[in-house]
Structure 1
Amino acid sequence: MAREESGAVRALRRHLVEERSVDKRSIEFTGCWRLRMTQDDAPTEEDLAEVQERLADATAAC
């Protein structure tokens, strides 16, 4: 379920930015399904995809 939810959140973020022209810097999502995770937990594929997306956004903004 968490993977489906994190994918839905990424899709929503993309929709807001690409189709609704919302500034990326004004969007912040926090997943309640990740509450029990700590810094020591291994990242999932979804975590890595989100990091890559944020890095690409940050690079494009420069």
Structure 2
Amino acid sequence: MVIQVQDAGHLGGEVRAAAETLKKRLATAETRLRRLQAAIEAGVDPAALAESISEAQAQRTTTQHDQ
């Protein structure tokens, strides 16, 4: 399959955009985990946050795998 030069440039832009999206998703997941940890340190029952922590960890793991 032959890709025209103009299409190749467009694909490069898409790759960069996808990488940036993954970077933002990872940062969001890590920020959420830090906030949840801060809530636990402030006295919130960890059991009350277990589902949120699991979701944030799953998002982080999935995003790291996709990079």
- Shorter-chain TM-score category? 0.3 to 0.5
How high is the TM-score relative to the length of structure 2? 0.42
What TM-score comes out, normalization by structure 1 length?
0.44
- Identify the structure with the greater helix proportion: 2
